[in-house]
Amino acid sequence: MADFTVYPDPVLTQAAAARAVDDGMRAAGVALQAAAASVEAYGLAAVHIGLLEPVVVVSVAGQGAARDYRVMFNPRIVALADEKAFGPEGSVSMPGIEVPIERAEWAEIAFDSAEGHGDTMRLEGFAARVAQHEIDQVNGVFFLNRLSRLKRDTAIRKFHKSQR
């Protein structure tokens, strides 16, 4: 099982700069996919395993289905549905905490392949939620930042209490 970066590590608020896909990014992608598989995560960003790289892994299968991981380099959201819905979200960096976050129902994601070729993918439902969550993390936006201050503070207190 991988060692995960734990909240409130400041690296979780740092954005990973996009760049040409290189060996370091590809190695991060391999490590990230292994880490995600080890805990059956639906998605992870490289920062979760201590690497400030613009790399995410997202399972494009639906919630509850066997994981079908895609490694995405330099991922970015290019279009979002106007329709939004709340759904539970958590993080390996804050184990035991799950809160409802509002996200777009579908997302079109642009990313580079391991070979550096540009690609796009439209994800819907749960997979779209996971991709939006992980791309936020690549951009230094921890999922709690999407909550009101009161709800964020409550989640943080609950997490600190669980860590005692």
Residue for token pair 């991060």: 28
Distance between CA atoms of residues 82 and 80, nearest Å:
6
Q: Would residue 40 show up in a list of annotated catalytic residues for this protein?
A: no
Active-site hit among 40, 53, 115, 134: 134
What's the Rg (C-alpha) of the chain? 15
Burial 71-94 (b: 16+ CB within 10 A, else e): bbbbbbbeeeeeeeeebebbbbbb
Distance between CA atoms of residues 70 and 57, nearest Å:
5
Active-site residue set: 134
